Structure 1
């Protein structure tokens, strides 16, 4: 980020461009006098920064807020690496603090300590008395990230995690997940970010085939060394798909579902959410020890079913099972996939299906056997093959419904005019 010549530190252009800190909220926690003096000296010189400076005891009573709002940056003095890890774990465990930029102040950290703390979730590690260049660089990085995710201060509304589940094989959930992820990648690029698709069917997942990817992710690395998991490792495991979509595929060889620890899956999702504007997760049919963790992390849960008695009965049983779990008040949105048109003959109506499921059917996805078979055979998703088809427009509608916020939040369009297409159909 910087270059030193004759003991003069020069910021590169990316930092210089990001030195506008207007509206930045910062909470600094420092107990030692030297750290407090250093921080306050420089913060007073940053116009537009709203900040509070607390000691450790005040921090424990005050919490992570600035004027009752979550800050953009936390500058935290820690005694050692162990103390730092305790703080990071507690902070990252809170969903509303998931995207908080954490800057640690440490006295003489070792190289190993720095690596481990970055893996644990810290964003920067600075000296105990950071100079203006160090602090400016860290604030600039937080500002760049803030610009990528937009001006909305509510971290939960910046990014979305959408989970597709299904109660029976052949429901078409993976196909919907793949096409949705590609459409969200297009949307994310408008804001300078990206989307990712996580295939958690680690036994028989086939998202890679639908995207015609050249290889699969080596998830054995997660199984063998879950403690090594950090942002860099996760990104290295992901495969680049069409339009820059990042994909964590299922492995080459099937894994037992308990091979992935619950804590590992939770960390995968947390890291993915921090670095991707949209996260789409395709779940296996089997219920696992980590199913509830995935669903609790979701902003939207889509249950995909077909419109026949066997599929609807399986879907009803899955809904009953999931509703017995505490999902944090999240609702399950049902999708009727491969819904036949009038000319194709309908046997079960939407009203009858909703009565069987005891939940509303959110979206009906039209049956288009020819398009989807051709898509699967060629490894080119339908939304790329025929972006103006009725099927593709239904994906838009599906994602619009996923943008709905809880009643306590203001509803905001998921992308405005992006999802408005032409009138062409297949």
Structure 2
């Protein structure tokens, strides 16, 4: 189970004034993905991008991190998307590790219109702060008892921190095409979380394995695949609701 956190909302989208292709490029250029899983840096690994920059000097002196250095340490996709992903398992335990993360997030918020944070399911000094300040939160879980227990615990924690003042989207990942083929039905999930309208992402091992092995996005493998349609529908609904 992972938590994806959309921390900036784009209410005044420029897409109505420019063509579709230009709109996509502009939106990608104004979007940043921050991978806070320093144990494995999976966001970068899935795209076969690895940050070779030595963070040792910056983590000890996070005030050195500025706009120019942010351009040096970033990873980029051909679409224009910017990614910050670092494999440094010891970072959460370093004396100024949290200061580095908060400095990174401050600069990202300054530079980009839309920020997506991949927050791993482990407690860190910045975990609660990210949950407190996010505009949109997505809790992704799988249909097994262990993942559901973790998802329910996190959902309860966020509600205690934020009440009903934040939008939380619950996402059942890797569900089979027909709900009766899963161990839990949609109605059972709604009872577990005490929340309606739980979303789902279809299980498509072939699509995801192909994307992973080619280091491209699933939408670049087959944009018409059910998995991609599920994602598009889910995010479109959240964006439309945010703009109302």
Does the alignment reach a TM-score above 0.5? Answer: yes
* Kept after mapping to 1: 8 A contact 2:135/2:167: no
* Kept after mapping to 1: 8 A contact 2:74/2:82: yes
Counterpart CA distance in 1 for 2:35 and 2:26 is: 24
Distance 1:311 1:343, change over 3 A: closer
Counterpart CA distance in 2 for 1:393 and 1:186 is: 22
Aligned residues: 229
* Matched ranges for 1:252-291 at <5 A: 253-259=88-94, 261-291=97-127
Secondary structure of 2:232's aligned partner: helix
1:114-152 deviation digits (Å, cap 9, x = unpaired): xxxxxxxxxxxxxxxxxxxxxxxxxxxxxxxxxxxxxxx
* Kept after mapping to 1: 8 A contact 2:25/2:79: no
Asked if residue 341 in structure 1 is aligned to residue 177 in structure 2, the reply is yes
1:47-75 deviation digits (Å, cap 9, x = unpaired): xxxxxxxxxxxxxxxxxxxxxxxxxxxxx
* Matched ranges for 1:77-96 at <5 A: none
1:194: Cα distance to partner?
A: 2.7
1:277-324 deviation digits (Å, cap 9, x = unpaired): 321111121111211221233221100001222211121122223333
State which drifts further: 304-313 or 322-331.
322-331
Structure index of larger Rg: 1
Given candidates 227, 231, 236, the residue that maps to 1:395 is 231
1:349-375 deviation digits (Å, cap 9, x = unpaired): 111011112233442111101111122
Counterpart CA distance in 1 for 2:163 and 2:63 is: 27
Identify the residue that residue 70 of structure 1 maps to in structure 2: none
Secondary structure of 2:115's aligned partner: strand
Counterpart CA distance in 2 for 1:277 and 1:329 is: 21
Counterpart CA distance in 2 for 1:343 and 1:285 is: 26
Bigger relative CO (Cα 8 Å, ≥ 6 apart): 2
Given candidates 45, 48, 61, the residue that maps to 1:209 is 45
* Matched ranges for 1:138-177 at <5 A: 157-158=11-12
* Matched ranges for 1:15-414 at <5 A: 157-158=11-12, 189-190=25-26, 193-213=29-49, 215-251=51-87, 253-259=88-94, 261-326=97-162, 329-342=165-178, 345-405=181-241, 411=244
Gaps of at least 5 residues in structure 2 are 1-8, 14-20
1:219: Cα distance to partner?
A: 3.7
Gaps of at least 5 residues in structure 1 are 1-154, 160-184, 412-426
TM, length-normalised to structure 1 = 0.48
TM, length-normalised to structure 2 = 0.81
Distance 1:365 1:158, change over 3 A: same
* Kept after mapping to 1: 8 A contact 2:34/2:85: yes
Counterpart CA distance in 2 for 1:244 and 1:399 is: 19
* Kept after mapping to 2: 8 A contact 1:335/1:361: no
Distance 1:308 1:328, change over 3 A: closer
Distance 1:323 1:404, change over 3 A: same
Secondary structure of 2:183's aligned partner: coil
* Kept after mapping to 1: 8 A contact 2:173/2:203: yes
| Root-mean-square deviation (Å) | 2.9
